[in-house]
Structure 1
Amino acid sequence: MDAPLAIRAAGLTKCFGNVVALDGIHLDVPQGQIHGLVGPNGAGKTTLLGLLLGLAAADSGRLEILGTPVARALAAPEGVAGFVDGPGLYPSLTARQNLAALAALHGDDARTSGIDDALDQVGLTDVADDRANGFSLGMRQRLGLAAALLARPRLLVLDEPANGLDPAGTRHVHRVLTRLAAEGTSVVLSSHRMDDLEALCSEVTILATGRVVFSGPLGKLAAENRELDYRLRTSDPQAACRLATDTAGIHVDDDAGARDAQVLVVRALVPALDELVARLINAGIAVRELAPVVSPLEAAFLALIEPQETDR
């Protein structure tokens, strides 16, 4: 049975003067899913996130969030939290005071009691009493996430939440988002970091010039992509190169061998790559590394937006 939808959007259009920011957007996000939103600058991602957060209203189309149709009047839908273009913080206040001010603004005792827990979840307990104006970009992003968590959202909308994060901060954010999704919270995550999307998202939507050019599972996106380049390191590079050259559907990058004789770069679809690996093993050649030069998601993303950019 299909999961209930946290977001159901059909034909969303938004214009700013003569600029069409969104052009007939369709988007379905099931409950408990982390859904990635990607696209080049100017694709319409920020505008779409703003509609989900109630910061703007669509000119036309239908939008339903958490089972409730969104009215034209601007208002944050109940059960939705997040930020666009970075979190809004009071720089002269500490992390704890920022969250306390937010809780007081909503008059919510439950939010006040959850301040310490929210800070702990995003890894800011040790700097809870430091002023926000001394925070790094990554720390401000984590504090913004903590502010969103105070609302105990059923839909979390985040714009570049990993921006400026170090590895420890990234691990904290990934852990929080994964747990929330497991508990049934839906997350819409906009990011230019393909590694974050691949680690977190079960489905992605790619926007280009205000339109959806792909929406679906990551596996389907990679499968529909054209040939990819792979780095291949083996116990016998010369023999591996001969086998690769003789395998149908495999194209060897001769320039890569000139740069590093131990690494072979081949271009292939997955079935041809599988055939090459089988032939290497049968020949007694150990495969020590096999990885895409560019991740399948990034390659597919570039392949999908290149025609759009060419038309401009």
Structure 2
Amino acid sequence: MKARGITKCFGDVVALDGIDFDVAPGEIHGLVGPNGAGKTTLLGLLLSLAVADEGSLEILGTPVGRALAAPAGVAGFVDGPGLYPALTARQNLAALAALRDAAADIDDTLGRVGLADVADDRVRGFSLGMRQRLGLAAALLTEPRLLVLDEPANGLDPAGKKHVHGVLEQLADGGTTVVLSSHRMDDLEALCSEVTILATGRVAFTGPPAKLAAENRELAYRLRTSDPAAARRVIASTPGVAADDGPRQDEEVLVVRALVPALDELVRRLVGEGVAVRELAPVVSPLEAAFLALTEQENAR
């Protein structure tokens, strides 16, 4: 999938401002950004719910024109799945399969998303997480090659989230491209090989989540070692590393701020001094830190 110079306006509001966007086949690609950044608009363009005012868009090797018709092989939902609350889960999928002329195994599809036990329950009694799962099942009826999802983990408990993650990973392993938007940074970091951060309709970052750690400003890291006192001495002598001396509930956990190269040097020095590193992890993930930085910039305007 390839987008070049995509611009979309709604009256005087510029939702997307000349963005470039690339997603490789079989990739799980995440979209993140503050509210109003343009994520939902971009997902809508991928599903042909709207057309761009300027620029070119190619989906599954097919140039997208001005018609509101998604290329074959594209499925998903934006702003939550559209379901019939008076029908059961099975009846919903049967109706959608008939509309799409899809020869799908409905029971198998419900089983894939973990809804086999409630197949004959009416959707009006479903929780938000169950509705999201049924929306995913509806998108899978046509065996899409591009799956577009808006906040698919909304309302999911930990077991449900793990199940849905497994479904998406299996799809990607089979060559399906997945583009998803989420405010859940842990979901994006667990699932996505690439992320795109949007801010005011423009691309602020695109690439692997791990790349943000190298490009971001200094991050705070939790550091647990075998000898906190010795670790403090090493921290104090390592250039580019600063200790955070704020209040902590666990005195064995130190908090340091550093860029990645300085952090690497700190680890080398700790090991050289015989201090075992038992935990080293960002207090806030690089992706969440970038999101918060963008949000702060927007609020400051």
Per the TM superposition, whether the score is higher than 0.5 is: yes
Q: Are 1:76 and 2:67 counterparts?
A: no
Q: Are 1:263 and 2:241 counterparts?
A: no
Amino acid at match of 1:49: L
C-alpha distance in 1 between matches for 2:118 and 2:97: 19
Describe how 1:202-281 pairs up with structure 2 within 5 A: 202-257=193-248, 259-281=249-271
Contact 2:34/2:294 (8 A) holds in 1: no
Which residue pairs with 1:4 in the alignment?
A: none
Q: Secondary structure at the match of 1:30?
A: coil
Contact 2:5/2:18 (8 A) holds in 1: yes
1:305, CA displacement in angstroms? 5.0
Contact 2:225/2:231 (8 A) holds in 1: yes
C-alpha distance in 1 between matches for 2:270 and 2:22: 43
Q: Are 1:11 and 2:1 counterparts?
A: no
Which residue pairs with 2:109 in the alignment?
A: 118
C-alpha distance in 2 between matches for 1:71 and 1:279: 58
Amino acid at match of 2:77: F
1:173, CA displacement in angstroms? 0.8
1:116, CA displacement in angstroms? 1.2
For residue 40 of structure 2, the aligned residue among 41, 46, 56 is 46
C-alpha distance in 2 between matches for 1:135 and 1:38: 27
Instruction: State the TM-score, normalizing by the size of structure 2.
Output: 0.96
Describe how 1:18-33 pairs up with structure 2 within 5 A: 18-33=12-27
What percentage of aligned pairs have identical amino acids?
77
1:298, CA displacement in angstroms? 1.2
Amino acid at match of 1:174: H
1:304, CA displacement in angstroms? 4.5
Contact 1:204/1:217 (8 A) holds in 2: yes
C-alpha distance in 2 between matches for 1:297 and 1:206: 9
Q: Are 1:302 and 2:292 counterparts?
A: yes
Contact 2:33/2:294 (8 A) holds in 1: no
C-alpha distance in 1 between matches for 2:15 and 2:287: 24
C-alpha distance in 2 between matches for 1:223 and 1:247: 18
1:97, CA displacement in angstroms? 0.7
Amino acid at match of 1:250: V
Which residue pairs with 2:29 in the alignment?
A: 35
Amino acid at match of 1:189: L
Contact 1:256/1:263 (8 A) holds in 2: no
Describe how 1:166-181 pairs up with structure 2 within 5 A: 166-181=157-172
1:190, CA displacement in angstroms? 0.5
C-alpha distance in 1 between matches for 2:278 and 2:211: 27
C-alpha distance in 1 between matches for 2:250 and 2:208: 35
For residue 63 of structure 1, the aligned residue among 41, 57, 69 is 57
Structure 2: unaligned runs, 5 residues or longer:
none
CA displacement, residues 90-132 of structure 1 (integer Å, 9 cap, x when unaligned): 0111111110010111233x12xx2111111111111111111
C-alpha distance in 1 between matches for 2:270 and 2:58: 53
Q: Are 1:198 and 2:189 counterparts?
A: yes
Q: CA RMSD in A?
A: 1.4
1:144, CA displacement in angstroms? 0.2
1:217, CA displacement in angstroms? 2.1
C-alpha distance in 2 between matches for 1:43 and 1:230: 28
C-alpha distance in 1 between matches for 2:203 and 2:268: 38
Amino acid at match of 1:47: T
Which residue pairs with 2:82 in the alignment?
A: 88
Contact 1:256/1:264 (8 A) holds in 2: no
C-alpha distance in 2 between matches for 1:293 and 1:158: 28
Structure 1: unaligned runs, 5 residues or longer:
1-6
C-alpha distance in 2 between matches for 1:193 and 1:57: 28
